[in-house]
A and B are shown apart, each in its own frame.
Chain A
Amino acid sequence: DTAVSQTPKYLVTQMGNDKSIKCEQNLGHDTMYWYKQDSKKFLKIMFSYNNKELIINETVPNRFSPKSPDKAHLNLHINSLELGDSAVYFCASSQELLGFKGNEQFFGPGTRLTVL
């Protein structure tokens, strides 16, 4: 069974479109994250949700809106896509907020978004 799953794996779209990426974890974790990995392979946190509550929002444009319908899901909706949004987006989860009592994160396989 996949611990953290994301759909779709690949997403190719035109500038200006709106798209969503879905994430689900079956680990029973309380905290979920979205990361963006750019072309230089730097992985940066975008959002973190703990028990469906937004904890971290790291200077991400408001075109990006995370939605957590329940603890097991954290979806990422992106409005008015731009060329610079092209990247690999990773979802992750952990039992508690990373760093607290040193718990670990589990990552999904990633979604490669290409904006044309």
Chain B
Amino acid sequence: DAKTTQPPSMDCAEGRAANLPCNHSTISGNEYVYWYRQIHSQGPQYIIHGLKNNETNEMASLIITEDRKSSTLILPHATLRDTAVYYCIVSRDTGGFKTIFGAGTRLFVKA
């Protein structure tokens, strides 16, 4: 699975959009981009995933660049409860893969 790079931390004002970047320059054609988050002392929570098209659900939007080497997770109206560590991972569409959550981005949403 391709490696991802994320900034270690970010701040966001409550009510504003939080844009979390992720670089995955070695991504291959059959690898999906996934985003999870982990609120303190809880298990990771799935947010969204995509292959090459932009995706939106009730939690967030995922923007994937045309070359698929980077993506951005957008929380449109961040709340204090969105304070968490956000993980970007890529995983291919076959069995026998590895999934390693890296350090992620610690997002602080401030009032």
Contacts and interface: CB of A to CB of B under 8 A. Distances in A.
Interface of A: 4, 35, 40-45, 50, 55-56, 58, 90, 92, 97-102, 104-110
Nearest to B99: A45
Given A99-B32, A105-B46, A43 B101 contact: yes
B98 A56 contact: yes
B45 A107 contact: yes
Interface residues on B, range: 20 to 34
A55 B1 CA distance: 16
Contacts of A90: 43-44
Given A43-B38, A43-B44, A110-B43, 11 more contacts: A35-B101, A41-B104, A42-B102, A55-B96, A92-B43, A99-B97, A104-B46, A105-B44, A106-B46, A107-B45, A110-B42
A18 B56 CA distance: 45
Given A90-B44, A108-B43, A110-B42, A97 B101 contact: no
B91 A99 contact: yes
B100 interface: yes
B57 to A, nearest CB: 11
A3 B48 CA distance: 18
